[in-house]
Amino acid sequence: MMENKDNLLRELHDLYNQSAVGFRDRLCADFDWSIPTYYRKMRLIEKEDVSGTRLSNVEKEKISQVALSMQKEFQEKIFNLIKHC
């Protein structure tokens, strides 16, 4: 994953960058969304917008599940980085 194992700052920076992309990619795969759809959905407000679109309750629930799951994975990666640097 990361090349410079002696620089904790660089490793954490890379991990944080990868987590945002990983979150997006996982939601796109789970919902069969394109990347533009992901960013459109992200811009939606919780009440109906001009086009009448909003996140469904199913989408909200799945997004929450993915976020919590990834948070646990992310925390484990941070602990491992700190332990090995």
Query: Is 45 inside any structural domain?
Result: yes
Give domain status of residue 1, yes or no. no
Coarse DSSP helix, strand, coil percentages of the chain, rounded to the nearest 5 percent? 70, 0, 30
**pLDDT tens-digit series, residues 18-42:** 999 999 999 999 999 999 999 999 8
Let me know if residue 18 belongs to a domain.
Answer: yes
Q: Which residue has the tokens 């993915």?
A: 66
- Does a structural domain hold residue 2? no
The verdict on residue 3 lying in a domain is no
| Tokens 């944080």 found at | 16
Would residue 27 count as lying in a domain? yes
The CA distance from 23 to 16, in Å, is 11
Cα separation, 14 vs 59, whole angstroms: 28
- Whether 58 is covered by a domain: the verdict is yes
Q: Which domain holds residue 62?
A: 8-84
Residues 68-79: tens digit of each pLDDT:
999 999 999 999
Residue found under tokens 């987590």: 19
Q: Give the pLDDT confidence score for residue 2 in this predicted structure.
A: 46
The number of distinct structural domains making up the chain is 1
Considering the domain boundaries, does residue 52 fall inside one?
Answer: yes
pLDDT value for 60: 92
Most confident of 2-11, 50-59, 74-83: 74-83
